[in-house]
């Protein structure tokens, strides 16, 4: 039993730190959060007003190195390259491991990206001694920049990936800056498949900047493990906007997107530290309230409902207040109930709230 508890604690602590265990860099989740945060600053005008820069770094022919010298040598190379990237970037931005031999660098908006990228290429190209064996690798860089929040941060990631493809096609060991005309028809099919794979792995909803359904599923498992370890319960709130289809139809998709973004902003702004909110799809959100009672969760949701109703005309583009229907379900750790079942109960409570006229909260 002690061994199981230790494993559970290790899982909880590793997820909380958002650190890649091989390299010690930020992991994919931390990178997505940093990108979403930078995007929100860009949209709010709170940054410097200069473009943000995303660099997608991929080691060239790394699979050949792995196949030739083995995965242990490959891991040693990745760890040393990661240390070099951290030293080069320093305080100029965020660097992390995206997965495999891919790294992302998000540069602060007041940083000149060209000297940093030159230093990255030079640092990676220096010979590496891995497990007593000298190894030389190079990197290709895809660079994308944004000075407005149009299209969401997912668009910037796709653009950097497209630029990376072009850098590799041009001979590797170099960088390429994304331009809207730089992706020719010959790479469209490959790029579309790559984009689909990337989006399937992401955990951030790029319309709202909060966690998506994939992140929700992972967080549910984490919360359930923690609940069983500590003996504390949790409450799931299922929140759905009222009349969302009518708003989209009457005022257009941009107005609908604004409603969704406002709901996400209010929900994320009202939660406590340690709680989490996710967009499940459309105008549906799931909030996980740890160590909470149904009564406390209901009071919290009433406050959220009042804040949303006070959003009013939303900059004049949606001539109506935002109202929500919500359902609450509590999990008792002693029951060891599947967290997906708890979420289904919260969903059922939300549907009852809608059936009773909407703009209300139902407790399961």
- Per-residue confidence at 220, pLDDT binned at 50, 70, 90? confident
The sign of the CA dihedral 214, 218, 220, 221 is positive
Per the model's pLDDT, the better-predicted residue between 13 and 286 turns out to be 286
Q: Are 154 and 199 in contact (CB under 8 A)?
A: yes
Would you say residue 207 lies in a domain? no
Percentage above 90 pLDDT, the chain: 34
Whether residue 107 sits in one domain with residue 190: yes
Whether residue 336 sits in one domain with residue 305: yes
3-state SS, residue 282: coil
pLDDT at 266 over 80: yes
pLDDT at 7 over 50: no
Whether residue 55 sits in one domain with residue 153: yes
Catalytic machinery residues = 101
pLDDT at 88 over 80: yes
Q: How far apart are the first and last CA of the chain?
A: 33
Which residues, in sequence order, are CB contacts of 30 under 8 Å at separation 6+?
Answer: 18, 19, 94, 96
Would you say residue 12 lies in a domain? no
Would you say residue 261 lies in a domain? yes
Whether residue 272 sits in one domain with residue 145: no
* Last-in-domain residue among 174, 201, 228: 201
Which residues, in sequence order, are CB contacts of 6 under 8 Å at separation 6+?
Answer: none
Q: Give the residue carrying structure tokens 């010298």.
A: 69
Would you say residue 4 lies in a domain? no
Whether residue 287 sits in one domain with residue 143: no
pLDDT-wise least confident of 74-83, 118-127, 149-158, 217-226: 149-158
Would you say residue 8 lies in a domain? no
Average pLDDT for 51-60: 92
> Rounded mean pLDDT of the chain?
81
Whether residue 235 sits in one domain with residue 147: no
pLDDT-wise least confident of 46-50, 167-171, 217-221, 329-333: 46-50
Looking at residue 16, what is its pLDDT? 43
Q: Where are the beta strands (DSSP E) in the chain?
A: 52-59, 93-99, 102-107, 128-130, 133-135, 139-146, 175-177, 234-241, 276-281, 284-290, 324-331, 361-363
- For the chain, the domain total comes to 2
Structural domain that includes position 317:
213-363
pLDDT-wise least confident of 190-194, 216-220, 322-326: 190-194
Average pLDDT for 310-339: 75
pLDDT at 327 over 90: yes
Which residues, in sequence order, are CB contacts of 184 under 8 Å at separation 6+?
Answer: none
Whether residue 320 sits in one domain with residue 359: yes
Per the model's pLDDT, the better-predicted residue between 300 and 47 turns out to be 300
Percentage above 70 pLDDT, the chain: 84
Residue 42 sits at the vertex; the CA angle it makes with 37 and 45, to the nearest 5 degrees, is: 120
Looking at residue 185, what is its pLDDT? 46
Global pTM value: 0.55
* Last-in-domain residue among 145, 176, 201: 201
Whether residue 174 sits in one domain with residue 225: no
Whether residue 221 sits in one domain with residue 174: no
Per the model's pLDDT, the better-predicted residue between 316 and 350 turns out to be 350
Per-residue model confidence as pLDDT tens digits over 305-315 = 988 888 754 55
Average pLDDT for 80-86: 96
Whether residue 249 sits in one domain with residue 171: no
Average pLDDT for 185-196: 52
The CATH number linked to 76 is 3.30.70.270
């Amino acid at each position: 039993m002690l061994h199981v508890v230790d494993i559970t604690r290790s899982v909880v602590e590793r997820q909380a730190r958002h650190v890649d265990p091989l390299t010690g860099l930020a992991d994919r989740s931390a990178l997505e959060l940093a990108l979403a945060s930078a995007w929100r600053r860009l949209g709010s005008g709170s940054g410097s007003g200069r473009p943000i820069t995303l660099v997608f770094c991929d080691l060239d022919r790394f699979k050949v190195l792995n196949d030739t010298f083995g995965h242990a040598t490959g891991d040693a190379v990745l760890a040393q390259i990661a240390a070099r990237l951290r030293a080069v970037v320093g305080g100029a931005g965020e660097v992390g491991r995206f997965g495999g031999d891919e790294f992302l660098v998000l540069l602060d908006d007041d940083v000149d990206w060209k000297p940093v990228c030159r230093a990255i290429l030079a640092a990676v190209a220096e010979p590496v001694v891995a497990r007593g064996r000298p190894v030389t690798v190079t990197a290709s860089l895809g660079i994308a920049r944004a000075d407005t929040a149009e299209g969401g941060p997912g668009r910037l990631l796709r653009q950097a990936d497209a630029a990376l493809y072009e850098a590799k096609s041009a001979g590797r060991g170099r960088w390429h800056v994304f331009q809207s005309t730089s992706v020719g028809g010959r790479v469209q099919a490959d790029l579309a498949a790559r984009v689909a794979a990337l989006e399937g792995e992401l955990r951030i909803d790029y319309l709202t900047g909060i966690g998506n359904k994939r992140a929700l599923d992972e967080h549910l498992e984490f919360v359930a493990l923690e609940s069983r370890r500590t003996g504390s319960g949790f409450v799931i709130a299922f929140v759905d906007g009222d009349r969302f289809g009518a708003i989209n139809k009457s005022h257009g998709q941009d107005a609908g997107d604004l409603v969704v973004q406002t709901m996400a902003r209010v929900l994320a702004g009202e939660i406590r530290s340690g709680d989490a909110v996710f967009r499940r799809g459309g105008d549906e959100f799931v909030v996980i309230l740890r160590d909470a009672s149904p009564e406390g969760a209901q009071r919290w949701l009433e406050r959220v409902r009042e804040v949303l109703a006070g959003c009013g005309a939303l900059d004049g583009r949606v001539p109506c207040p935002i109202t929500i229907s919500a359902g609450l379900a509590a999990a008792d750790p002693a029951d060891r109930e599947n967290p997906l079942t708890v979420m289904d109960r919260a969903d059922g409570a939300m549907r009852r709230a809608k059936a009773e006229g909407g703009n209300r909260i139902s407790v399961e």
